[in-house]
């Protein structure tokens, strides 16, 4: 029985010579996934600082204009990098939703973020929530 965490179920049905090629590719995937986790951790530290600033100065948790610009920018970058721009948009919206949830928790707002996927053209209606 294999104890290599990269092997997964493939060890049961993949020939040994193909398996070593697969394991080598999975090593790169492991490194990339580790980098993604570290990058996300740094991004959430940065957005948490923004959330503290917003709470301190009573600013709304969401900024739809900033989100729209950021999503458009990342879609252009994704396109240039041969990554599906629609996927990049969904991924960023997923992260932003979580960030807004954190910001709402810091401000004590009960506003629920819109369900994913967030429409970048539909502004988050912070003002009406304050009425």
Q: Which residues sit at the interface with ligand ISJ, rule CB under 6 A?
A: 47, 50, 62-63, 66-67, 70, 96, 99-100, 103
How many other C-beta atoms are found inside a 10 Å radius of the C-beta of residue 25? 10
Rg of the chain over CA atoms, in angstroms? 20
In the complex, least distance from residue 124 CB atom to ligand ISJ, rounded to whole angstroms: 7
Nearer to ligand ISJ, 63 or 89 (CB): 63
How many angstroms separate the Cα of 79 from the Cα of each of 50, 73, 74, 85, 90? 28, 10, 8, 6, 14
Q: Supply the minimum distance, in Å, between the C-beta of residue 110 and ligand ISJ.
A: 17
For ligand ISJ, the closer of residues 23 and 124 by Cβ is 124
């Amino acid at each position: 029985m294999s104890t290599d965490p990269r092997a997964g179920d493939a060890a049961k049905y993949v020939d040994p010579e193909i398996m070593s090629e697969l394991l080598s590719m999975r090593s790169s995937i492991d490194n990339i996934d580790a980098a993604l986790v570290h990058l996300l951790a740094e991004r959430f530290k940065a957005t948490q600082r923004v959330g503290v600033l917003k709470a301190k100065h009573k600013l709304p948790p969401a900024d739809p204009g900033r989100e729209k610009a950021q999503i458009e920018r990342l879609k252009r970058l994704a396109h240039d990098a041969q990554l599906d721009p629609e996927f990049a948009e969904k991924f960023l919206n997923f992260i932003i939703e979580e960030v807004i949830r954190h910001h709402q928790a810091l401000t004590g707002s009960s506003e629920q973020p819109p369900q994913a996927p967030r429409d970048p053209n539909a502004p988050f209606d912070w003002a009406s929530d304050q009425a």
